[in-house]
């Protein structure tokens, strides 16, 4: 007697990511009660399982949902607000003043909805956020059915969200406690950077993160100028400061890391720290080049993020995959560096590892959450298909993502969002644009 399952998904190819580079042809992925029950040949699955929901993806790859390891989701409402500027001018003259004027809980709700809609349509099933009013971002993620790691933001200066460090941390800890029993929502401490959060504050955050066993998500070594200024003012490099304070550990997720000396790479690897690589944002802001091939060779877990849409200007992780691969090869001077399967792993299982979620998501394995995307390779842009993994990294566009499931719940069906109202989201985005333009900000 066949065993009942919630859904059966047949596919031309299944790329489970673990083991790395494996491609299963003409297999069925079995979902039951939100989790992956089995992956097996289609003929065998037809005998062993039955379901009222049996979907066939004859031209598709089924693979784990992508994990956006670093973004500022609601900054999607600032997409294109200030382009073609170096990082510190972009921040100090445009982004920080605009945030002080406009960012509130409503801004974060509308911006996060727009970001989640974009990410789901691009095959992202989990994102790691760093922004103000994280309670609002968490509520929107819950509403959409999206997996998210919500940053408990911390700064040394006041904002519309909090007046001082104590208030940032009090609000963050309250949110962490409130989300304890939310299966799709997770937390990380999110101090902005060593140059915006003092040493005593960072040390305090490190102790709090260790007590709660959650990541510390922080911008580190984003530009050479930032490091030079920090050395002048503090007498050491930012990563040295984090190490002195006990934050260089397996809980550290260092974002950008465009500048890294050989000894720093060794120390990151020894500590088990993680790096979030954001190639398009770094290129657009001319911030520098993360030495991904050297980090990977040293054993550092490298994940991939988009950064915010104000500096990218999209949340297209498939685009990041291709740029990461090509840029990494060019920097290494080695065409065999960072092969496609490794890059795909960075955008899935490595991201899950960086967020402490590798037991739950990031690969297609029995027992894990059914966070799955279907990618149509039967299009002009990706035919003929010789090697599906290479095709995913070097040729596939996000428009080829047809279907998305998070914890077995279908959130995108044949390119249509199920849990979000696309037209309402677009209208809210346009309303914010008109409001911002109307007061001379753009």
Nearest to 188 by CA among 135, 152, 141: 152
Q: Which residues of 398-415 are buried (b: 16+ CB within 10 A; e: fewer)?
A: bebbbbbbbbbbbbbeee
pLDDT at residue 87, rounded to an integer: 81
Tokens standing for residue 83: 């382009």
Enclosing H/E stretch for 340: helix 340-346
Q: What are the residues facing 254 on neighbouring strands?
A: 218, 275
For residue 270, give Cα distances in angstroms to 220, 242, 261.
17, 14, 14
Tokens standing for residue 9: 């998904």
pTM: 0.97
Query: Are the beta carbons of 195 and 226 closer than 8 angstroms?
Result: yes
Tokens standing for residue 248: 């260089």
What does DSSP assign to residue 64? Answer: E
Enclosing H/E stretch for 263: helix 262-271
**What is the full per-residue pLDDT of the chain (442 aa) written as tens digits?**
899 999 999 999 999 999 999 999 999 999 999 999 999 999 999 999 999 999 999 999 999 999 999 999 999 999 998 899 888 888 888 888 888 889 999 999 999 999 999 999 999 999 999 999 999 999 999 999 999 999 999 999 999 999 999 999 999 999 999 999 999 999 999 999 999 999 999 999 999 999 999 999 999 999 999 999 999 999 999 999 999 999 999 999 999 999 999 999 999 999 999 999 999 999 999 999 999 999 999 999 999 999 999 999 999 999 999 999 999 999 999 999 999 999 999 999 999 999 999 999 999 999 999 999 999 999 999 999 999 999 999 999 999 999 999 999 999 999 999 999 999 999 999 999 999 987 766 5
Q: How far apart are CA 187 and CA 208, in angstroms?
A: 12
Strand residues in 257-312 grouped as ranges (E)? 274-277, 301-304
Q: List, as one string, the DSSP characters of 88-124.
A: HHIIIIIIHHHHHHH-SHHHHHHHHHHHHHHHHHTTE
pLDDT at residue 353, rounded to an integer: 98
pLDDT at residue 88, rounded to an integer: 84
Enclosing H/E stretch for 355: none
Q: What are the residues facing 403 on neighbouring strands?
A: 374
- With the C-alpha atoms ordered 152, 356, 226, 317, is the resulting torsion angle positive or negative? negative
Q: What is the CA radius of gyration of the chain?
A: 21
Give the phi and the psi of residue 300 in degrees, each rounded to 5.
-75, 135
Q: Where are the alpha helices (DSSP H) in 122-237?
A: 134-144, 165-178, 199-212, 224-234
pLDDT tens readout for residues 258-291: 999 999 999 999 999 999 999 999 999 999 999 9
Enclosing H/E stretch for 327: helix 317-332
Would you mind telling me the total number of residues written for the chain in this entry? Answer: 442
Other CB atoms within a 10 A radius of the CB of residue 420 amount to 20
Q: Which residue has the tokens 């299982």?
A: 349
Q: What are the residues facing 187 on neighbouring strands?
A: 150
Angle between helices 199-212 and 165-178 (to 10 degrees): 10
**Domains of the chain with CATH codes:** 3-64+370-407 (2.30.40.10), 66-354 (3.20.20.140)
pLDDT tens readout for residues 180-212: 999 999 999 999 999 999 999 999 999 999 999
pLDDT at residue 82, rounded to an integer: 87
Nearest to 175 by CA among 204, 139, 219, 225: 139
Tokens standing for residue 26: 């003409």
User: Cα(first)–Cα(last) distance of the chain, in Å?
Assistant: 65
Cα maximum dimension of the chain: 73
Query: Are the beta carbons of 233 and 269 closer than 8 angstroms?
Result: no
What does DSSP assign to residue 369? Answer: B
Nearest to 302 by CA among 23, 19, 62, 67: 67
Query: Are the beta carbons of 152 and 134 closer than 8 angstroms?
Result: yes
Q: Which residue has the tokens 């040729």?
A: 395
């Amino acid at each position: 007697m066949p065993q009942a399952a919630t859904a059966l998904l047949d596919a031309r190819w299944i790329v489970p990511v673990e083991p790395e580079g494996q491609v299963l042809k003409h297999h069925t992925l079995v979902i039951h009660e939100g989790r992956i029950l089995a992956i097996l040949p289609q003929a065998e699955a037809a005998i062993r399982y039955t379901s009222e929901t049996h979907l066939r993806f004859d031209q598709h790859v089924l693979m784990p949902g992508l994990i956006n390891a670093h973004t500022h989701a609601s900054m999607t409402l600032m997409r294109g607000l200030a382009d073609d500027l170096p990082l510190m001018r972009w921040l100090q003259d445009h982004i920080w003043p605009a945030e002080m004027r406009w960012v509130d809980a409503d801004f974060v709700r509308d911006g996060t909805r727009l970001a989640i809609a974009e990410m789901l349509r691009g095959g992202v099933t989990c994102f790691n956020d760093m922004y103000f009013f994280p309670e609002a971002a968490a509520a929107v993620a819950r509403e959409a059915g999206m997996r998210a790691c919500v940053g408990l933001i911390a700064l040394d200066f006041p904002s519309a969200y909090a007046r001082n460090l104590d208030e940032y941390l009090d609000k963050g800890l309250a949110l962490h406690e409130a989300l304890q029993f939310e299966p799709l929502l997770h937390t990380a401490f999110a101090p902005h950077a060593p140059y915006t959060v003092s040493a005593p504050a960072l040390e305090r955050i490190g102790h709090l993160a260790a007590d709660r066993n959650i990541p510390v998500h922080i911008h580190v070594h984003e530009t050479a100028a930032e490091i030079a200024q920090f050395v002048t003012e503090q007498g050491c490099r930012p990563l040295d400061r984090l190490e002195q304070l006990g934050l260089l550990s397996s809980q550290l997720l260092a974002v950008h890391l465009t500048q890294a000396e050989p000894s720093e790479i060794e120390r990151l690897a020894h500590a088990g720290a993680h790096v979030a690589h954001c190639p398009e944002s770094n290129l657009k802001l001319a911030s520098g080049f993360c030495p991904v091939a050297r980090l990977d060779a040293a054993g550092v877990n490298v994940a991939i993020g988009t950064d915010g849409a104000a500096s990218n200007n999209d949340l297209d992780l498939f685009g990041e995959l291709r740029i990461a691969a090509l840029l990494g090869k060019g920097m290494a001077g080695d065409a065999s560096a960072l092969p496609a399967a490794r890059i795909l792993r960075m955008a899935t299982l490595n991201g899950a590892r960086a967020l402490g979620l590798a037991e739950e998501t990031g690969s297609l394995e029995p027992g894990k959450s059914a966070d799955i995307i279907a990618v149509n390779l039967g299009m002009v842009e990706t035919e003929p298909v010789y090697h599906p993994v290479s095709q995913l990294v070097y040729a596939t566009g996000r428009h080829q993502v047809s279907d998305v499931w998070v914890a077995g719940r279908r959130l995108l069906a044949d390119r249509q969002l199920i849990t979000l109202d696309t037209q309402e989201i677009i209208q809210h985005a346009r309303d914010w644009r008109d409001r911002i333009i109307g007061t001379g900000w753009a």
